[in-house]
Structure 1
Amino acid sequence: MLLLTTKELQDLLIKKREMLDLTQQDVVDLTDSIITRQYYGMIENGERRPSVDVAKMIGKILKVDWTIFFEIKSNQMLRKKDLA
């Protein structure tokens, strides 16, 4: 299982969105406006994590596995590993 850093997740979300020629607002509109553009921006910037339902929607829209939102290597995890 591939674990992404927060920065790698950010880069992936932006890259996939741009490859599909979508704006952040387009992604929001494709979720039937269940989320706001501001909230999606926070997800894309790594400031928020979506709920499972929202992650599934975004994953379907951007053609990525929705579990990537929950498989993130945090700095804390990395530090614990380095100390072991």
Structure 2
Amino acid sequence: MREWLKEIRKQKGLTQLQAAKLSGISRSYYADIERGSANASGAAAKLIADALEFEMSIFFADVRRVSSQNKKKSA
């Protein structure tokens, strides 16, 4: 789950639907990204980051952190 994305959205006072509309993506895709059940494409990450006014690199830092944690668990 991308708690940081949910927190940014809530700080802006937005619903998932509003955040998705601002980003130009579907609500279901946005919700999947926020839940962590889908990874944002580079284009979607940029759209969301621009709409919610944060640095899009957070998405990719998040992916690396999750990947390294999974490797530690399986080692």
Same fold (TM over 0.5): yes
Q: With structure 1 as the length reference, what TM-score do the two structures score?
A: 0.72
Q: How does 1:29-44 map to 2 (within 5 A)?
A: 29-32=21-24, 35-44=25-34
Structure 1 residue 17 corresponds to structure 2 residue 44: no
User: Which structure features the higher share of helix residues?
Assistant: 2
- Structure with the bigger RCO (C-alpha within 8 Å, sep 6+) is 1
Structure 1, unaligned stretches of length 5 or more? 1-6
Whose strand fraction is larger, Structure 1's or Structure 2's?
1
- The number of residue pairs the alignment matches comes to 71
The alignment-based identity, stated in percent, is 30
User: What's the secondary structure of 1:68's corresponding residue?
Assistant: helix
Large movers: runs of 4+ above 2 Å? 74-80
Matched, 1:76 2:74: no
Report the alpha carbon displacement of residue 61 of structure 1 after superposing the two structures with TM. Answer: 1.7
Residue by residue over 1:14-66, the C-alpha shift from the partner in whole angstroms, topping out at 9 and shown as x without a partner, is: 1110110111111111123xx21111101000111111111011111222211
C-alpha RMSD of matched pairs (Å): 1.7
Query: Please, which runs of 5 or more residues in structure 2 have no aligned partner?
Result: none
Determine whether 1:61 maps to 2:51: yes
Find the structure with the greater CA-based Rg: 1
